[in-house]
Chain A
């Protein structure tokens, strides 16, 4: 794909009221002429969809729960220039104690996700998908709980911080991460996808990963790292040193800003502004110009973020 000009991209997306997060530098990596032949430093973009909670039932917070996911997929399918891939960052389904119902929800979710025009679709688990059965059903439908892949010069790592009762990464996965990173140079662009924030965003609301700092410590030697996650149902940006962390909106209900209210309760549905606070994230990668540009797209065009 040729470089997607920013203005053109917005036109292609057909959106207004887009919020821009700060870019992320690719530093020496793209500038290193020795990498030029080995790295396909092409510009591209991907879409992050998060926290769809398929199977959720709560009219007070989303009376359109059975339509919200399809509405988001329609929005992505309507992009004239399709993303290189789409990733769902956890809580694909809403938790249930019934293993059969869990699998039914996952089957339905998977069938709906297959209506995306783009066929390169990635998944990772949220605690609603994987915590009660340690990811057993999730793996039947969506494959590995953690994995990595490369795309046009960027190394993407998918981490699972939900499938054990402690809601952490665990020693085995941290060892795997360490081994995976050993294959990459310190200036390599690396993107982490995970569900819960790796840093301590707000412990009082369980918005952290107990051993997330261990992962951050492993990533710190790498100069170009960005983390994209879900879980908190709102846009958020944070820095741990030079590592950028970006949270995506949910596609079922928004949650309040951390610590802004006593209880971590869903924000009620606003009939005057349906789908308010719901949306998805478009991430443009510009390796040649050493930056990302991130847009948080409201599910209803024109809504202020």
Chain B
């Protein structure tokens, strides 16, 4: 295993473990990120793109989050998960929803007059 891949897996293991500790919907995942679908989420005033994500129950996915303008937050309270979304910096988090339903994600760093409307949803089928 190359040093880069090793470092990548260690980082992912840390993230997955963190998710597993607090998460109501997700399990701790094995570090096989190369097999997981990746969904990119771009935060900007005052929206997320995409604002709706559809995943299958039990499906592990990687969310790659970054901002196009300023510091935003990315929080999924239903999973006990949050991170910053920064310009020029990719944040990767893994989720594995184990229940069907809808999870809300929103910006939890005040970003201006439309901040309260900056949210999206993960539909778990």
Contact = CB atoms under 8 A, between A and B. Distances in A.
Chain A complexes with chain B: yes
B75 interface: yes
B109 interface: yes
A132 B116 contact: no
Contacts of A94: 113
Summarize A's interface: helix, strand, loop or mixed.
loop
A94 B110 CA distance: 13
Interface string B97-125: 00000101010111011011101010000
Contacts of B77: 203-204
Given A204-B78, A204-B104, A263-B119, A95 B113 contact: yes
Interface string A83-106: 000000000001111000000000
Of the four ranges (under 10, 10 to 19, 20 to 34, 35 or more), the interface on chain B belongs to 10 to 19
B29 interface: no
A167 B119 contact: no
Contacts of A96: 113
A165 B78 contact: no
Contacts of A97: 112
B71 interface: yes
A97 B70 CA distance: 12
B110 A127 contact: yes
A246 B119 CA distance: 26
B75 A131 contact: no
Interface in B54-110: 71, 75, 77-78, 102, 104, 106, 108-110
Contact of A264 (B78, B112, B113, B116): B116
B24 to A, nearest CB: 12
Summarize B's interface: helix, strand, loop or mixed.
mixed
Given A203-B77, A204-B78, A166 B117 contact: no
A165 B109 contact: yes
Nearest to A131: B110
A162 interface: yes
A136 interface: no
A206 interface: yes
A265 interface: yes
Contacts of A205: 106
9 contacts: A96-B113, A132-B112, A167-B110, A203-B75, A203-B77, A204-B104, A206-B106, A206-B116, A264-B119
Given A95-B112, A127-B115, 17 more contacts: A94-B113, A97-B112, A128-B110, A128-B113, A132-B110, A167-B108, A203-B75, A204-B78, A204-B104, A206-B106, A206-B108, A206-B116, A262-B102, A262-B121, A263-B117, A264-B117, A264-B119
Interface of A: 94-97, 127-128, 131-132, 162, 165-167, 203-206, 262-265
